[in-house]
Structure 1
């Protein structure tokens, strides 16, 4: 468009003709209008999202400690991205794959795996993304059902900052991937304009949620309730039919996957979708009863309770009260159902089951509080209201006030732990020890939380075995015809200690293994154990013989006048606490001239093991190079893996796990 100044001289323009905005101004106008309409909401929402992102990501590498489930989902996402396969082992339909496909999409698009030396942290970064999206959707959902901006922000903050939420949102669970889709489904289901598109989007979102984590199917009746209740009467049959058909088609896609792979029904030598569903719904071991203090059910609920008892109590109470509030009734009834479903006889309670309930508990707490405040405000303004309603509002406000007071010290203590604790240090230290001391051709039975890291470190993929697969995967059994005896090491974590007992092979590996390095304590303890393929009895006999030989040689070496050592070192020699290769080297060096040796210290993780790092100092004017030459001439059996010169001498370090019978 030409401007007025660019028009020909004979062109006239009416003095009252409207002046059209320039293209840049026309493009800016919708944005300015949108900001004017939503500016106040953004001022409330954006700080909440910032708080959620900071709380979820701060020290996510340190707390909580990595667990086996995280490693499994991250390894499956890694396999999609790096191997072009649905899983790092045989995919057996225990969960639909859409959850870790989304994690893989995130890590591929952002390059997350390349930014971390620990693969699980790439998955945790993805959890931050999904959680922030879920917080935003929860805020918008709260506004959609009529809550004030303050109440919507309270719901979002409870969902983002509760220690119970932080614990589970940081952990790589498929439930965290499914939650934004479930919230989006309820949000779309409340559409009033363009209802057909909204209901179709609700069905698609819910389908993705279920294919991310199958337990989210429990929300279907309540999503349908919302859609039926809000559907326009003139188009209800049409819109609900389209939405139902779309949901069925999405569900059939999973069945089609199994059919295309020929794994729909059980058969010899193959996994099947039917077996996976049967396991999840029928044959999985029960979690026991809340009344049994030794049951998995009791342990799971106790963990939730210790993290945030206030939100649990307030959320349960809000669920009951919410049943009587029209605008949140379907969600409140769903929460009551989800809580009751936990207590079904003989059922299995997944540890992350609470993740599905957290956003709706936060929403109901905010909704009931918002209704109570409105009721009290109406009373103050002399508007109509029942006496029971006003009394209930007073009670609820009092309860939430007490809860708010209780939350401050509880949340402060718990969140400080998330921000400052380094619970994953034992896992990192164990991986470092394995990398430095275990030959790369060894076969390891490990917690899945370190599977990707060890493969990236140079261990063959087939030699890093997720402990759960030793007895359950046909491909692994084929590679290990002798079972646990074909492995060299087993790394024990809390997951292995609690879940490994269900595997005969893992029990045998634990019973016939010896700790060679240990890191951490309590639930965070991680042990590297050398498997004794000849059995624990023979291993004990060999260990006693080696200890006796070391003690005898050590006492003889301690009498050598050319070996200048303290009483502490002399006692370590007599006790057989010094590596046999180191004693042979010391004997050879002392034969060539006097040497002194500093008091030995255990290497990290080896407080109960042999001293295998010594600082050797020549006492007769010999140079460090002379010492190194003598050591190099002893051959590979006795040579240290590291010989680092110092100002005065040489720090020699021998590899872990000396050969048995070296001293005869």
Structure 2
């Protein structure tokens, strides 16, 4: 039997060697997936509670974000500053004067640049709202994490997120472009990291960075510093406390110093002739700013501000304060309770100024305390022989009563946020301007529409944020005649709130006439045409023009060649139809019959002069053929020159519609 000698098997040189680059990359990739899977399995119960809270928060807050609340001036300012960063390469759309640190709108600018938000929204402020709502969702997740870090159950952590996200008071402010909304997630991150018990050097350093960013986003968040220090000192390990706290303090000082360095590099740290300065900005915010008045004065700013908060959600406010008082007995919640109570008392300091968004910083901690106190009370009731059972029963009872009262209130309020279109008046006024004013005319506006008008073709110098007409030397230099250089002023509730604070703006309002009105009450927006001779003289001129229109219209109404409805004939005899339209119809009637479909009213001009004319036939021939102007209609349009030239000519079905520009003076000799 023969045997075959087999060649010994040679070992694979790659056995036991390092994997190839491709294999290593794949391994790392699969390793990352495995680690993610392990993490998700470990935190499955947390995600089961947290994800629905985030989804509900996103749906409720994003639904109808363009309809409610109505855009306000502050939103327009921060949005315009963010837009200036990304589109103009400037720190602000006007002279930056250190009223707030710029980091807040720089973050909004970064978000809009990364996501293309300004290009996706027709209304610029809505791009800013998207950014702050994303910040609110991040805050929900961080608030959940902080609640769990403080030992609260998953159900209580979820309740914290729901309270923070869905309270009508919270929804009102989550949807508003305030710098405070951008600062909240940084503040929550700072407290979360400050409660870390492992790796405290990195955690405390991160907490200091996060808190520094929150303060450079909105300076009022500096008020939370004593409470963050308190939490850090309580959390710090004795053996490393001095080192970790020193590092955190040093980082915080360095971050704060960066703002001073910015001003110093620009030569604007100290005040000087014809320049802004950081010192002046701080002095204004802390000292020279007019106070909010007395709470006993029903017309004071503090009274109106507190009234607005209370109207939105009195249940949340009451429960937050009660929970803060109760949480003084709970060591883990005590710093947050003192924070809420101390900052509530701070609002009522004599002569102080209370910003409307001040409450934004308190909302997450109010939600945390409500859920935390109830969670603690329920846990105590479950333990046999636990002390203070009457207090726990009382806490649960108060929470139950609050929930019963809150359900119908929240349902009504949230229904309004989801269904109401409170911004329709501002949109209407903005669209009216774009359709009826020319881009070479100068307009004084609420800052909420500044970016939209500039994007629509106005030169930025011709769109004047009303606040700047009385306060910015650069704007005043471009308007040597003050209010007289303006053509239109668009008034909003923000502009009407401080009638004596802006003399030039008030002069423009007093020397103007209303040409279009949208909405009513505090949502009302008026488009006013500035009259150089004053509103009194304009009223006289308009009255004389109305009498002239009535006389001319009465003559035209008897002309058998003019075919129109009885209602339109009555409008002619009442002097409600623009005299230029009367003159055009009289000329056409002299050459043959003319069929008038009507005098369409321009949106917002109800009760004003009809300045549109819809024609269906001229001399028996249609004005529109195959969707285009007929020869007779083209000849008519070409013949209208000078004061008779329409501002626009459009086709509406079988009619040609001529629109004449707004006039507050007699237009015919």
TM-score (normalised: structure 1): 0.94
- Relative to structure 1, is the Cα distance of residues 182 and 619 closer, same or farther in structure 2, using a 3 angstrom cutoff? closer
- Relative to structure 1, is the Cα distance of residues 42 and 555 closer, same or farther in structure 2, using a 3 angstrom cutoff? same
2:9 maps to 9
2: CA distance, partners of 1:27 / 1:86:
40
1:511 maps to 510
2:410 maps to 411
Q: Where in structure 2 are the equivalents of 1:301-312 lying within 5 Å?
A: 301-312=306-317
- Relative to structure 1, is the Cα distance of residues 292 and 149 closer, same or farther in structure 2, using a 3 angstrom cutoff? same
- Relative to structure 1, is the Cα distance of residues 250 and 647 closer, same or farther in structure 2, using a 3 angstrom cutoff? closer
SS in 2 for 1:651: strand
Encode CA deviations 1:364-410: one digit per residue, 9 max, x unaligned: 011101110111001xxx34x32xx1110000111111111111111
2:478 maps to 479
2:643 maps to 637
1:192 and 2:197 aligned: yes
1:117 maps to 122
1:107 and 2:107 aligned: no
| Gap runs ≥5 in structure 2 | 1-7, 13-23, 624-629
Whether the 8 Å contact between 2:563 and 2:593 is mirrored in structure 1 is yes
Q: CA deviation at 1:635?
A: 2.1
1:352 maps to 357
Q: Where in structure 2 are the equivalents of 1:587-606 lying within 5 Å?
A: 587-606=586-605
Whether the 8 Å contact between 1:174 and 1:213 is mirrored in structure 2 is yes
Q: CA deviation at 1:599?
A: 4.2
- Relative to structure 1, is the Cα distance of residues 640 and 332 closer, same or farther in structure 2, using a 3 angstrom cutoff? same
2:15 maps to none
1:15 maps to none
SS in 2 for 1:458: coil
Whether the 8 Å contact between 2:612 and 2:660 is mirrored in structure 1 is no
Q: CA deviation at 1:11?
A: 5.7
Q: Where in structure 2 are the equivalents of 1:199-278 lying within 5 Å?
A: 199-278=204-283
Encode CA deviations 1:545-577: one digit per residue, 9 max, x unaligned: 322322222222223232233443233222221
1: CA distance, partners of 2:209 / 2:389:
41
Deviates more, 1:197-206 or 1:543-552: 543-552
Deviates more, 1:210-219 or 1:25-34: 25-34
1:391 maps to 390
1:424 maps to 423
Q: Where in structure 2 are the equivalents of 1:226-625 lying within 5 Å?
A: 226-378=231-383, 382-383=384-385, 385-386=386-387, 389-618=388-617, 621-624=620-623, 625=630
Give structure 1 regions of 4+ aligned residues with deviation exceeding 6 angstroms. none
- Relative to structure 1, is the Cα distance of residues 313 and 530 closer, same or farther in structure 2, using a 3 angstrom cutoff? same
Whether the 8 Å contact between 1:204 and 1:247 is mirrored in structure 2 is yes
SS in 1 for 2:313: helix
1:83 maps to 88
Q: CA deviation at 1:652?
A: 2.5
Whether the 8 Å contact between 2:647 and 2:661 is mirrored in structure 1 is no
1: CA distance, partners of 2:547 / 2:561:
24
Whether the 8 Å contact between 1:640 and 1:652 is mirrored in structure 2 is no
2:57 maps to 52
Deviates more, 1:62-71 or 1:42-51: 42-51
Q: CA deviation at 1:415?
A: 0.6
2: CA distance, partners of 1:214 / 1:491:
31
1:652 and 2:657 aligned: yes
Encode CA deviations 1:302-360: one digit per residue, 9 max, x unaligned: 11111111110000000111111011111111111011101111111110111000000
1: CA distance, partners of 2:33 / 2:622:
78
Count of paired positions: 643
Whether the 8 Å contact between 1:550 and 1:663 is mirrored in structure 2 is no
2: CA distance, partners of 1:152 / 1:520:
41
Deviates more, 1:454-463 or 1:568-577: 568-577
2: CA distance, partners of 1:661 / 1:307:
48
- Relative to structure 1, is the Cα distance of residues 124 and 232 closer, same or farther in structure 2, using a 3 angstrom cutoff? same
1:146 and 2:145 aligned: no
- Relative to structure 1, is the Cα distance of residues 34 and 296 closer, same or farther in structure 2, using a 3 angstrom cutoff? same
SS in 1 for 2:400: helix
Encode CA deviations 1:249-278: one digit per residue, 9 max, x unaligned: 100111111111111111111111111111
2: CA distance, partners of 1:370 / 1:500:
49
Whether the 8 Å contact between 1:322 and 1:364 is mirrored in structure 2 is yes
SS in 1 for 2:444: strand
Whether the 8 Å contact between 1:315 and 1:361 is mirrored in structure 2 is yes
SS in 1 for 2:657: strand
Whether the 8 Å contact between 2:568 and 2:599 is mirrored in structure 1 is yes
Encode CA deviations 1:506-548: one digit per residue, 9 max, x unaligned: 1111111011111111111111100011222322232233223
Q: CA deviation at 1:645?
A: 5.2
Q: CA deviation at 1:627?
A: 4.2
1: CA distance, partners of 2:446 / 2:319:
36
SS in 1 for 2:464: strand
Whether the 8 Å contact between 1:490 and 1:528 is mirrored in structure 2 is yes
1:36 maps to 41
CA RMSD of aligned residues (A): 1.9
Q: CA deviation at 1:620?
A: 5.2
Q: CA deviation at 1:138?
A: 0.2
SS in 2 for 1:517: strand
Q: CA deviation at 1:279?
A: 0.9
SS in 2 for 1:616: strand
Whether the 8 Å contact between 1:77 and 1:87 is mirrored in structure 2 is yes
Encode CA deviations 1:117-158: one digit per residue, 9 max, x unaligned: 100000000011100000000000000011011111100110
1: CA distance, partners of 2:291 / 2:652:
60
Whether the 8 Å contact between 2:531 and 2:664 is mirrored in structure 1 is no
| Gap runs ≥5 in structure 1 | 1-7, 13-20
2: CA distance, partners of 1:233 / 1:78:
48
SS in 2 for 1:501: coil
Encode CA deviations 1:10-48: one digit per residue, 9 max, x unaligned: 669xxxxxxxx9937644442333222211111111111
2: CA distance, partners of 1:27 / 1:627:
72
Task: Choose which of 65, 84, 96 in structure 1 pairs with 2:101.
Answer: 96
2: CA distance, partners of 1:139 / 1:597:
66
SS in 1 for 2:526: strand
1:162 maps to 167
